[in-house]
Structure 1
Amino acid sequence: MSFFVREKTISRKTKKFSSIKKPVENKQDQDEELDSENEEINGDHKSHPEISDEEDTETPDAKRLRLAKKYLDEIKKSDDEDEHVSKKLKLDYLDSIGKLKKQLAENILGIDEENLVTLKHKLQNQPITCLCLSSDNNILFSGSKTGKILKWNIKDKKQIGCISLDSSVICIALSSDNEFLAVSDKSNKIFIYNPSTLKKIHTFDGHRGIVTGLVFRKDSHQMFSCSDDRSVKVWSLDEMVYVETLFGHQNQITSVDALSKERALTSGGADGTIRLWKIVDESQLVYNGHSGSIDCVKFITEEFFLSSGDDGSLCLWNVGKKKPIAEQKLAHGTSSTGIANWISAIGTLVNTDLIASGSCDGFIRVWKLEKNFREIKLKFEIPVRGFVNSLTFTSDGSKLIAGIGQEHRLGRWWKLKDGKNVILVIPLKSKE
């Protein structure tokens, strides 16, 4: 197999120090003459407009003490800035090697019901199938079975744009720099748009089946796609070219995810496997654990990932282990017939211990990863009406956004008549 050559860029991170200059004493003119008009009428004291009484009465020792304190304050301020920069560099380094794990879930208390927002539009009066959020958390794109992709301003709660496709929207993805929007419907094509103007830039036509998943590698224009044709494809949007095809799954691939490293994570549906594709090494790791079809995979960090499927299990994995390190069986209970409720969507707040899952049981469940990412514990439930087809956290963890529908995003096996075809923007309450 041929793999494309990647250009390496070196980012420089410099510490900023505030320049410290020792104050210089002001020289006062000697034998300064004052006009009689500047003399005070009552009293013998003569004033100068630029010299305060405090400076006039300050002794040399007091002045040296004041300047020394000022100098020490400047040094302390510089040390605080140095500590802040060092902390930031440490976090960036841990993130780059996949070791960053922020303990955030403990501070999340529940949802702010009073400020919950429901977004709906007549152009998306059928189930919402997929969501993607801009890096600044201000713009949301939603796909629907109506074949419409709507652009929303989250702050203003308004729809500000629309893209029309020929059939149901299956997946969408946005690059980290918000330069490219990739979308796909029930076809083998991938359409690339400008997210600002919503003008089509390019069309990729390489898969032999429906494209079921799209993701951009973080901070790059490298894109991964997966399909019903059992393949994963690599694309470069800088040159708008196809790069490589990856084979290994024995059934339809249902989802794909990626972070910063040049790797793709995929779920193989009914073949019961998850695969981690190492592009540079031209190799893959295979994971087994679920008892049914695996439908969703999401990275938590570069070291840990999450999966779910129709067996109702929520599984936590370490990339170095072939079996789940933690499993929450029947995470959304069972149906009236005793069958496990299918987990149709999962969401992770990257590099933290906060995750979420959705099904058709009437709840979104928010979970905490405990014991250094070795255990899954339920935090709270959010009541919803319908299938949860997509979940995404804002990057600051202040909101959870859910795409809801009366039907599952991939088919019409059954319909929840009391379900709603809407987007829920759910504010999360946290400790002060």
Structure 2
Amino acid sequence: MSDAFFSKPRPFSKRKREDAPGSAPRQTRNGTSARGQTMSRGGKDRQNGRKGGSGAGRPQNKGKRRAEAEDEDLDEGDADHFDSDEVGSDEAEGVDEESEEEDELETPAQKRLRLSQMYLKSLEKDKEAEDFGFDAADLDRDIIAERLQQDVLEHTGKLHLNVASTLQLPIPSTSIFRTPAKGHRGCVTAAVASHDGHWLYTSSKDGAIMKYDLAAVSAHDPSASTSSTPGSESPLPRISRSAYFRKAVSDSQKRDAEKHQRFDTPQDKGKGKELAEGHTDEILDLAISHDGKTLASAGRDKVIGCWNVEGEGGKWSRGLGGHKDAVGSIAFRLGTNELYSSSFDRTVKVFDLSTLSYIETLFGHQDSILSIDALRGELAVTAGGRDKTVRFWKVMEESQLVFRGGGASRMRNVLDGAMEDEGVEDEERKRRRTQAEQRGPVKFVEGSIDCVAMVDDSTLLSGGDSGTICLWTVTKKKPIFRLDVAHGINEHDSESEGIIGTPRWITALSCLPYGDVFASGSWDGQIRLWKIDERLRSFSPLTTIDAPGCINSIQLIAPSLRPTRESQLSAVTVQGGKAGKDAAGSTATAPPAKNLVVVAATSKEPRLGRFMRFKDAKDGALVAVIPMA
């Protein structure tokens, strides 16, 4: 690159040479040296001073005359070696122009990826094994390397976390925890944990949010609590309550309170009780940012709540409006503060919570949007409820891919804007074949798609009221794999029809980001874990977790896959059973266990209604810790 650069014809300098007109200046490969530029600039200034006669009236000593003589000799004898300072500046400007051109051709994401790869290569060259102890600087460098490796893999947008084969099953009963009994007064609609496994948040129809300390539970090692000696068993950790965010008072309630407020003395007038800030109606969903500092809540009051939850407490930051109906679901884009929200007004909105500002609105669904999910890319997936579509949004391109669930019909094609006979013949042929054969599992018609989950940037899952879980890819319009009646059939006695069987619909779906494990929930009293095939063509059951009640939300996290300095310090041990020491001399503790944490919100009622009630269920959050080998 340098040879090609210096072989280009360069523009003439502003000051032309008098001794050799038309001759090209002789330059070194690195351009004029700093000393040459300084001396040339000094000689030029002194020559200009002599021409202008600035020193004619002042006495000059011998030192000044000697310096002027040296400058004259330098200008006359070394004219070929030193030119004006514009030569060096031209070269610097050329280099800057080329670097700017290279930066313009490279996107910020590509630049971060390139710098991460360069840093990893430099670490591979400088890496040296240590037999005893460790250095804090080396530890920080290793942590940065692991995080950059994770970021590089996530930026590829493909599945790369093969966790299913490392899970130690079945799950022991000592690894399942529940939140304290005294909690919300209403149905628990959502439960979400921070990505480091430290904090747990739950929301309810009572309009309040609770914060719990989950650090001891997420780092729990089931093998440590189960010992051969009965007296040496360690006590099980508990989920402890940390903070409580109350429901706010609406404007009408404020006016009523001021109207009926009584004051004993004139001095007490105007000193009303401080009112809480937050939602004034039911909270339907929660989402936590990747750094764990910002919590977002979706309310039936058409407001998206922003909470600053850094530390043990929490504070209301601001309520973001814009939706014309209840906000049904929200999701953060991984690694950023961009928030995607879906509403019953059939729109998707994008917000930036770092500045608490609105970005844009996306249109397309024909019915209430019940679920939304997002990963690291500027992509989002939504479930359109009764319009029976899953839409894959490309936010930057302002485009969408539509995946149609359920069966095709002429009436539906007309309403959806498709061709009238598109797919109708195939559906009629399947129906006739099923009626003729009268064997095999019963397939129920899908009337609504209620939940979605992204596996990676090109693969997604969906579930609906037919009890079917579908696996989709962006390259095909039909699901590449589907499992009918995933959570069984509910049988009930009808006076006119006898025993009728209906499928249990899928109420919640969640996948480990870029992993091969996902979980599904319904109201059959079990959370089911599934393993995705390596080729992303099918999935198979792994295990079940007992969870009585209706599962309103599910989340999968693996805190050990995102290393922190504290976890690395505790993981460092010295060979021979001795504890390691860092540069400061502090002794490291035992390494934390690698766990997959399943967080679910269980309730006596469904999230979006009260048409069913389960008496044996408990309102709260369930946390299952699954050890990994």
How far did 1:288 drift? 1.2
Question: 1:348 corresponds to which residue?
Answer: 511
Task: Give the TM-score, by structure 1 length.
Answer: 0.79
Q: Which segments of 5 or more consecutive residues in structure 2 lack a partner in the other structure? A: 1-106, 131-140, 217-237, 248-279, 407-445, 492-499, 560-594
Among the aligned pairs, what percent are the same residue? 34
Output the CA distance in 2 between the equivalents of 1:415 and 1:17.
Answer: 58
Q: 1:192 to 1:176 in 2, by over 3 A?
A: same
**1:201-212 counterparts in 2 under 5 A?**
201-212=317-328
> 1:279 maps to what in 2?
395
Structure 1 stretch displaced more, 120-129 or 368-377: 120-129
- Using the TM superposition, give the Cα deviation of residue 426 of structure 1 relative to its aligned residue in structure 2, in angstroms: 0.9
- Contact 1:112–1:427 (8 Å) recurs in 2: no
Corresponding residue of 1:331: 486
Where 1:114 maps in the other structure, the secondary structure is helix
Aligned to 1:152: 212
Structure 1 residues 168, 121: CA separation in 2 closer, same or farther (over 3 Å shift)?
A: farther
Paired residue secondary structure (1:408): coil
State whether structure 2 residue 466 is matched by structure 1 residue 311: yes
Which of 519, 535, 539 pairs up with 1:372?
535
The 3-state SS of whatever aligns with 1:338 is: strand
Q: Distance in 2 between matches of 1:113 and 1:287?
A: 40
Task: Assess if the C-alpha contact under 8 Å between 2:186 and 2:206 holds in 1.
Answer: yes
Q: Which amino acid aligns with 1:189?
A: V
Question: Is the CA contact 1:150–1:159 (under 8 Å) kept in the aligned structure 2?
Answer: yes
CA contact (8 A) 2:188 2:603 kept: yes
Q: Structure 1: where are the runs of 5+ without partners? A: 1-6, 22-69, 72-81
Q: Which amino acid aligns with 1:130?
A: A
Q: Is the 8 A contact 1:356 1:367 kept in 2?
A: yes
Whole-Å separation in 2 of the counterparts to 1:304 and 1:416: 34
Shift of residue 322, structure 1, vs aligned partner = 1.5
Larger radius of gyration: 2
Q: Report 1:27-38 matches (<5 A).
A: none
Equivalents in 1 of 2:329, 2:614: separation in Å?
25
Q: Which residue pairs with 2:456 in the alignment?
A: 301
Instruction: Label 1:121 to 1:161 Cα distance change in 2 as closer, same or farther (>3 A).
Output: farther
Q: 1:181-200: CA deviations, max 9, x gaps?
A: 11122111111110124211
The alpha-carbon deviation at position 91 of structure 1 amounts to 5.3
Distance 1:20 1:86, change over 3 A: closer
SS in 1 for 2:606: coil
CA contact (8 A) 1:123 1:146 kept: no
Q: What is the Cα deviation at residue 121 of structure 1?
A: 4.1
Residue 123 of structure 1: how far off its partner (Å): 3.3
SS in 1 for 2:211: strand
Q: Which residue of 1 aligns with 2:555?
A: 392
| Distance (Å, rounded) in 2 between the aligned partners of 1:402 and 1:199 | 24
Aligned match of 2:624 in 414, 426, 432? 426
- 2:162 maps to which residue? 103
Flag the 1:8–1:385 CA change in 2: closer, same or farther, 3 A.
same
* 1:87 shift after superposition: 8.8
- Quote the residue 1:361 is aligned against: 524
Equivalent in 352, 355, 364 of residue 248 of structure 1: 364
| Larger proportion of strand | 1
What is the SS of the residue equivalent to 2:355?
A: coil
Distance in 1 (CA, whole Å) between partners of 2:465 and 2:126 is 61
How far apart in 1 are the matches of 2:394 and 2:175?
Answer: 43
Flag the structure with higher helix content: 2
Question: Which residue number in structure 1 is paired with residue 123 of structure 2?
Answer: 16
Distance 2:354 2:526 in 1: 41
Q: Which moved more, 1:369-378 or 1:216-225?
A: 369-378
RMSD: 2.7
Corresponding residue number in structure 2 for 1:4: none
- Give the secondary structure class of the aligned counterpart of 1:111: coil
Show the counterpart of 2:190.
130
In 2 relative to 1, CA 115–287 (structure 1 residues): closer, same or farther, beyond 3 Å? same
Look up the match of 1:237: 353
Q: How many residues align?
A: 369
